[in-house]
Amino acid sequence: MGKSREEEMRIHVHPTGNDNVIYAHNSEFSVSSIGEKLIEELEKDPKIRKRLAELMVTDSDVRLAIINAVLADVATKSDLEKLEAATKSELEKVEGRLRTEMENLRAEMKSEMEKLEERLRSEIQREVRRLEDRISALENRITALENRVNSIEERLTRLEGQMDLFVKLFIAFNLLILIAVIGILLKMIFS
Half-sphere exposure of 175 (CA within 13 A, CB side): 6
Residue 13 is given by DSSP the state E
Looking at residue 157, its pLDDT comes to 92
pLDDT of 85-111, one tens digit each?
A: 999 999 999 999 999 999 999 999 999
Give yes or no: residues 82 and 155 share one domain: yes
| SS3 state at 76 | coil
Domain boundary among 59, 74, 89: 74
pTM of the model: 0.36
- Residues 36, 100, single domain; the answer is no
Residues 68 and 49 in one domain: yes
Residue 166 forms part of a structural domain: no
Residue 35 falls within a domain, yes or no?
Answer: yes
Q: Round to whole Å and give the CA distance between 135 and 133.
A: 5
Q: What is the pLDDT of residues 123-141, one digit of tens each?
A: 999 999 999 999 999 999 9
